[in-house]
Structure 1
């Protein structure tokens, strides 16, 4: 199995990117190919799907996205294309929060998710994802220390550096640590994308 690729992006298409790893070009299906930039070095966390008629790579900028993708694939009726669609509609925290809160209204707005699949997501994943957030129940987002005034400052700084709002939120979320300064938080967020 291929867990990770580190190389240069040489191609961006509507639903995938091309990553050159020491002269070998890999086709990697991603949530939003246009978050990447041709000619830049990147690290992509991957999920390798081998079928009778194809070997496919699905890639993620953040390992947490890849791990949630794998959890989604364990749900009956959710294939790789549907799982990518779900991840394109919100951050992992938003999706997990909706599952844990049994928010079918949110889940049925996700691409390709009807009432039956939303019910399956809740039934199959609610307990498995119980430790995803620091709090449980309806207070998940309110109790999350990530939700602070400093968060907005970090997201604003990242968007000023050219990241779109969704990616800025994801970078801020995964680089958050309690009691760190805003400057340290921004540096940690940039390291998530390999900027030093």
Structure 2
């Protein structure tokens, strides 16, 4: 299964791009925001990497590749398509707003905002909230006011003297507790943002579980 592709963009395609990777051109569907980033890379003749969701079913035997700029974007998408009546094709067309904004609307039960997404009516917006409310807070946390940017902790930044502790906790979260690497990073980051004084793995676990309760 294809999970990641890196290369240069040959051209824009219907609802996406054709990416040249290893002398093979892959047609990849992307949301409108990702497409704008891809086109900037295309104009600059730069390489781009995309995390890929591979979609094929009995109803749709032709494989479809859907691309994302980050693992978190792909992870949100995989949650999004668990909503009844939202399949991968509908979902990628619906993501016309930044994912943190969509996640925040879900957590705020803002069906009016969700109804603005392409192909999402009021009833579907209500289904999205009913299915995902309480599950996407970590994605919504990525949205911050621009004026607050300078004072926030970078996504993966952890004090150097605590890196060993963080690696230990990350291993437990991913290898023993079944969290994805991106989820583990988010939980650890949020814990340090709430309590910068964490000084032991036990303290870090306590803060993480407080965050997820």
Short-chain TM bin: 0.5 to 0.7
Specify whether residues 176 and 130 from structure 1 end up closer, same or farther in structure 2 by C-alpha distance, changes over 3 A only.
Answer: closer
- Contact 2:51/2:71 (CA < 8 Å) preserved in 1? yes
Q: Determine which of 25, 34, 37 is the counterpart of 1:35.
A: 37
**CA displacement, residues 16-52 of structure 1 (integer Å, 9 cap, x when unaligned):** 1111111111110011334323332110011000123
Find the structure with the greater CA-based Rg: 2
Give the aligned partner of residue 162 of structure 1: none
| Structure 1 alignment gaps of length 5 or more | 135-140, 154-172, 180-196
Give the aligned partner of residue 55 of structure 1: 63
Q: Determine which of 108, 112, 115 is the counterpart of 2:119.
A: 112
- Contact 1:64/1:92 (CA < 8 Å) preserved in 2? no
**CA displacement, residues 76-111 of structure 1 (integer Å, 9 cap, x when unaligned):** 1001222112322x1111101111111111111111
Specify whether residues 109 and 133 from structure 1 end up closer, same or farther in structure 2 by C-alpha distance, changes over 3 A only.
Answer: closer
Q: Distance in 1 between matches of 2:24 and 2:129?
A: 40
TM-score of the pair, normalised by structure 1: 0.67
- How far the C-alpha of 1:8 sits from its partner, in A, is 1.5
Q: CA RMSD in A?
A: 2.8
Specify whether residues 40 and 178 from structure 1 end up closer, same or farther in structure 2 by C-alpha distance, changes over 3 A only.
Answer: closer
SS at match of 1:54: coil
Counting only pairs closer than 5 Å after superposition, residues 9-158 of structure 1 correspond to structure 2 as 9-32=9-32, 33-36=35-38, 37-38=41-42, 39-52=45-58, 53-88=61-96, 90-134=97-141, 146-149=144-147, 151=149
- Contact 2:28/2:65 (CA < 8 Å) preserved in 1? yes
Greater helix fraction, Structure 1 or Structure 2: 2
- Contact 1:69/1:83 (CA < 8 Å) preserved in 2? yes
- Contact 1:65/1:87 (CA < 8 Å) preserved in 2? no
Specify whether residues 117 and 98 from structure 1 end up closer, same or farther in structure 2 by C-alpha distance, changes over 3 A only.
Answer: same
SS at match of 1:119: helix
- Contact 1:46/1:57 (CA < 8 Å) preserved in 2? yes
Specify whether residues 97 and 34 from structure 1 end up closer, same or farther in structure 2 by C-alpha distance, changes over 3 A only.
Answer: closer
* Aligned pairs, number: 150
| Structure 2 alignment gaps of length 5 or more | 159-213
